[in-house]
Chain A
Amino acid sequence: MEWRDEGIILSARSYGESGAILELFTREHGRHLGLVRGGAGRRHKSSLQAGNSLAAHWRARLSEHLGTYTAELMKPRAGLLMEDAFSLMGLSAACAVAGIIPEREAHPALYEGFELLLDTMDDPDIWPAVFVRWELGLLQELGFGLDLGQCAATGSRDDLVYISPRSGGAVSREAGDPYKERLFRLPQFLIGAQAGAATPDDVAEGFRITGHFLDRHLFTPHGRHLPDARIRLAERVFTRSRAVAN
């Protein structure tokens, strides 16, 4: 068994004295693990950093085996993002969240979104909103998409300003106002407006919403919690939004 594909490193753990278990998010083969011989050594370690894109070649005797990777660096992102705390936080959080994607299941659209997200990470005004949209896409792709097209209570398509934390459906102002303390505010950039148009407050609310549904539908059912890196990122985004507001 063997294949070649491009992939983004989600993690690389040391294995034995010099090997590394590489977790790649590939375009055609989804999230896929494999052993890199010498991956913890000086020659490979700098390339095997989360966020870097690789041209990977996977080989194994049987398809269900872990297999081995040989890889060549295509795009080094980690080195560029290390300087900036906020971007690095975003990179760690994105890779940690992507770790919930089922193994060996191709999600090309999600892969492309992930690539786009990482490529925007040098622009702190844009990537947080792209991150929220990617997480919405993740929920959608894994079967837990939020229905933001019409009001879950009245069916109306106008004036949608809330999201129900239970159903994940949008709720119109008229139907939601009496329960607004229990509903999420629906940031308008999630229903059509461009990501760049989102205010810091909108983005912070977006992180709260996707965090809630990711935890509820993807992490908790697997006996896991939302990754710490993702929680810290949401806190940072919230702090930034408060700073802008003041």
Chain B
Amino acid sequence: MPVTGPEIERLIQLLSKLPGLGPRSARRAVLQLIKKKETLLAPLAVAMADAAEKACICSICGNVDTQDPCAICSDPTREPTTLCVVEEVGDLWALERAGVHKGRYHVLGGVLSALDGVGPNDLNIGSLAERVEKNGIKEVILAMNATVDGQTTAHYITDRLEGLGVTISRLAHGVPVGGELDYLDDGTLAAAMKSRRPF
């Protein structure tokens, strides 16, 4: 039997569907929100309503923003001829956090997966080829995850872009910064050894 009103129960139920939250932690979060009703709950409700109203997918790159084209695509200071291809918006955000890429992005929306029946037509690969062709892109950086599906997708894109006169590069695989060889898994070590380069 619920111990609170239906409005609060519903809030708990919805929050418990978020990643990292179960029913118990959602209940704790809701209690905290109610305790700080003025400073937390009300502004959160306004922010969520705003986001729900304005959030959209960028029609050029597939990023999530509140404007279309997104802030990255409409930023004139960004290098327009370098394109970084990522699997998901979360990967784009990770690269932006690191501040290592000053060009533009293209979000595929997933990877090719034989198991899940995801084929090239289910991803934003056609629009990538179109962008490369029409926008004078000089370099495409494939920043896919180092998984079998991620790399299969990277190789597929390489094939698709062949003949368009664009340089294709991909992120290195191997020892992470601060990583100790003794603690690395065998697969990473094998990939690092295979991708070694002159020093």
Contact = CB atoms under 8 A, between A and B. Distances in A.
A78 interface: yes
Interface of A: 11, 13, 17, 45-47, 49-52, 73, 76, 78-80, 82-83, 85, 88-89, 91-93, 95-96, 99, 227-230, 232
Interface in B10-56: 19-20
B180 interface: no
Given A17-B19, A83-B195, A92-B114, A78 B148 contact: yes
B152 A11 contact: no
Given A13-B115, A83-B194, A92 B148 contact: yes
B158 interface: yes
B187 A46 contact: yes
A79 B191 contact: yes
Nearest to B184: A46
Contact of B187 (A78, A83, A92, A96): A78
Contact of B188 (A50, A79, A88, A92): A79
Interface string B89-122: 0000000000000000000000010111101000
Given A17-B20, A96-B115, A82 B185 contact: no
A202 B30 CA distance: 66
Contact of B152 (A52, A76, A88): A88
A88 B151 contact: yes
A99 B115 CA distance: 9
A80 B20 contact: no
B191 A80 contact: yes
Contact of A49 (B117, B187, B194): B187
Interface string B117-135: 1010000000000000000
A46 B185 CA distance: 7
Given A11-B115, A85-B159, A229-B152, 12 more contacts: A46-B146, A47-B187, A49-B147, A73-B185, A79-B189, A79-B194, A80-B194, A82-B148, A82-B191, A96-B115, A228-B117, A229-B114
